[in-house]
């Protein structure tokens, strides 16, 4: 769906393109400065932190090798969990040698907001 841009916004954008200048002062071909750190979380098999401007992302990976479930000896299982602020999402995939199949997706309970804690 297209978003309407006012004439003034369009002129501002076009002037920046003509001047090879972004709103934050970088040229069109310049990347944002970033910081990348690895190996931060001791309780993971791997972790990294990426900072780009005001965005700060922390990622941790855990892995466990386990025996297949007795009722599915030829199937594997991959669990993926994500969290962004208070929002959590978990996925469980059962895998066979031929394909991946989504088995279950659920949202973990969210903690109450301050307004919900003190009505």
DSSP for 33-72, written as a single string: PEEEEES--TTSSEEEEEEETTEEEEEEE-----PPPTT-
| Shared domain check, 12 and 48 | no
Residue 18 lies inside a defined structural domain of this protein: yes
| Shared domain check, 53 and 16 | no
CA distance 88 to 68: 26
Q: How much is the average pLDDT of 31-58?
A: 89
24 is in which domain, residue-wise?
1-31
pLDDT at 89 over 90: no
Total domains in the chain come to 3
- Report which of residues 95 and 75 the model is more confident about: 75
| Shared domain check, 101 and 70 | yes
- Of 3-7, 14-18, 64-68, give the range with the top mean pLDDT: 14-18
Judged by phi (left if over 0) then psi (alpha if -120 to 50, else beta), residue 60 lies in beta
Among residues 84, 85, 90, the alpha carbon closest in space to that of 108 is found at 90
Quote the mean pLDDT of the chain.
Answer: 77
Judged by phi (left if over 0) then psi (alpha if -120 to 50, else beta), residue 29 lies in alpha
């Amino acid at each position: 769906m297209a978003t309407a841009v006012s004439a003034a916004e369009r002129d501002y954008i076009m002037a920046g393109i003509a001047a090879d200048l972004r709103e934050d002062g970088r040229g069109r071909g310049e990347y944002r400065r970033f910081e990348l750190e690895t190996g931060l979380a001791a309780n993971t098999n791997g972790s990294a932190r990426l900072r780009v401007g005001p965005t700060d992302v922390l990622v941790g990976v855990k892995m466990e090798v386990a025996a297949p479930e007795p009722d599915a000896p030829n199937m594997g299982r991959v669990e993926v969990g994500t969290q962004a602020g208070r929002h959590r999402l978990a996925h469980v995939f059962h895998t066979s040698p031929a394909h991946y199949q989504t088995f279950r997706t659920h949202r973990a309970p969210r903690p109450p907001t301050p307004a919900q804690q003190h009505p």
